[in-house]
Amino acid sequence: MASQDQRTADKVDLIADDLSSLVIHPDEELATTLAKVSRTPSSGFGVFATQDIPKGALIAVESAVISIPAVPDEQAAIEFCKALHQISKANLARLQSLSLDPLAWNSVSGDSVRSRIWQWCEDNLASNQGGQRKSHHELSILVDHTCRCYGIFLTNNLETGSNSGRGVYPFFSRMNHSCRPDIYEFFDTKTKELSLRAIHDIKAGDQIHSTYVDLLQPRKKRQKTLEAWGFTCQCPACTNQTFDALGERAVELDDMLEEYLFYHDDFSSDTDDDHEPFLKGPDEALGVAQELIQLLKDQGIYGESLYHTYWSASKLGVEVDDLQLALGYAREAREIEVCCVGPDRKLSDDDTVEWISYLESQIEHANENGSLSARLAHQEYEEYDPSSP
Ligand SMILES: [Zn+2]
């Protein structure tokens, strides 16, 4: 383990160092042996499977090379300056090896962001290590360097949840986008690590894609969002016109289902809203959930959307008094959860394992006693407190 002195010495003096010596090759220090970073014919770098990767396999776990807390956009540059000041040489090299989008560079080198960064550098880094004041020229080099690094940060950062802020994960950053991604990325708020798992079988040599956008939106909206990265997506979902109609219907069904569930969750509380949901009862809502499940599967959309739809279908199964159906959907939701985040983590606040064992025990109970109202079982579950003995 490095001593405190060594660690301090390892920090970067952005002026004193010859930064060109810090550039590392993207293949160095990879987070995984299942995949590697290589050049692609068209999109710079990409990540490719080095062997067959089965669905659910953990491809990589990585920590951020730099991260900032959740702050409003106008404060992000200052938080970035503070974080950059603390970065190790190795992590700076990793950050610098990533791409810088011209659009991000334009916004960072513009007057307002640059002047904020200048001010911070002047207030905090104006003296050299010997206590001597930096010249205007030295400060200007430092600000340019910080701006460039911030541009790289903006190009590559991942938002890790509303309270966790944003970070750059270099291996994950090398993945190109597809609206039909090959992995699910999961940020663990306790360990602060990002894990990447295969959501279907990947063949050796295939490129591994992540998604940069919410998949459950029409192609035009996805492409509008992707303009920020400066490319037009050519994935199967964007080039095959038949997916468009399926996608638009899926969005419509998802909205109807969400509205129904929101309305019914809120039903018992006082509300002035006299708006009634489009779907009139649990039978209709279950029908919509089932159609949505089929559409998502037909389109090859796996992950959170499908998980949530199965979860809703399971709850609605109970509403229509069909515990077996509810159990089947709960197990489907659990299978997706395990594939995306592994057996020991949860994909949402809901506890699928507890819900499944509850449904199983209710079904067993019903078998022993002849009949049971599933609705009653549901009510009991809502009142059930697993922490009480
Ligand atoms: Zn696409």
| Per-residue confidence (pLDDT) for residue 19, from 0 to 100 | 45
Cα(83) to centroid(ligand 1), Å: 34
CATH topology of domain 4-208: Beta-clip-like (2.170.270)
Share of the chain above pLDDT 70, in %: 83
Cα(358) to centroid(ligand 1), Å: 40
Cα(37) to centroid(ligand 1), Å: 21
Residue of 182, 162, 161, 163 whose CA lies nearest to 172? 182
Cα(207) to centroid(ligand 1), Å: 15
Cα(214) to centroid(ligand 1), Å: 11
Cα(58) to centroid(ligand 1), Å: 24
| Number of CB atoms found within 10 A of residue 99's CB | 15
| Per-residue confidence (pLDDT) for residue 74, from 0 to 100 | 85
Phi, psi of 5, deg, nearest 5:
-60, -45
CB-count burial class (<10 Å; 0-12, 13-18, 19+) for 36: middle
Q: Residue 53's beta-bridge partner residues?
A: 202
Q: Residue 47's beta-bridge partner residues?
A: 37, 208
First to last CA, the chain: 46
Give residue limits of the domains in the chain. Answer: 4-208, 241-383
| Per-residue confidence (pLDDT) for residue 12, from 0 to 100 | 53
Q: How far apart are CA 215 and CA 320, in angstroms?
A: 30
| Number of CB atoms found within 10 A of residue 118's CB | 17
Structure tokens at 192: 């602060």
Cα(334) to centroid(ligand 1), Å: 27
Give all strands of the β-sheet with 35-39 in edge-to-edge order: 35-39, 45-49, 207-208
Helix locations, the chain, DSSP H: 4-10, 73-85, 89-96, 102-109, 111-125, 136-156, 170-173, 219-226, 236-239, 242-265, 282-299, 304-319, 323-341, 352-369, 374-383
Residue of 375, 262, 254, 236 whose CA lies nearest to 307? 254
| Per-residue confidence (pLDDT) for residue 389, from 0 to 100 | 40
Cα(299) to centroid(ligand 1), Å: 12
Which residues 6+ apart lie within 8 Å of 188 measured at CB? 194, 195, 345
Cα(234) to centroid(ligand 1), Å: 6
Cα(212) to centroid(ligand 1), Å: 10
Ranges assigned E (strand) in 1-50 = 35-39, 45-49
Q: What is the per-residue DSSP string for 55-97?
A: TT-EEEEEE-SEEE-S--HHHHHHHHHHHHHT-BHHHHHHHHT
Cα(179) to centroid(ligand 1), Å: 4
Residues of the chain with pLDDT under 70: 1-31, 43, 128-130, 162, 265-275, 370-389
Residue of 195, 157, 187, 169 whose CA lies nearest to 65? 169
| Per-residue confidence (pLDDT) for residue 5, from 0 to 100 | 40
Cα(254) to centroid(ligand 1), Å: 20
Cα(240) to centroid(ligand 1), Å: 10
Decide if 4-208 and 241-383 have a common fold. no
In contact, 348 and 330? CB cutoff 8 Å: no
Cα(233) to centroid(ligand 1), Å: 4
241-383, which class in CATH? mainly alpha
Cα(370) to centroid(ligand 1), Å: 51
Residue of 183, 177, 247, 239 whose CA lies nearest to 212? 177
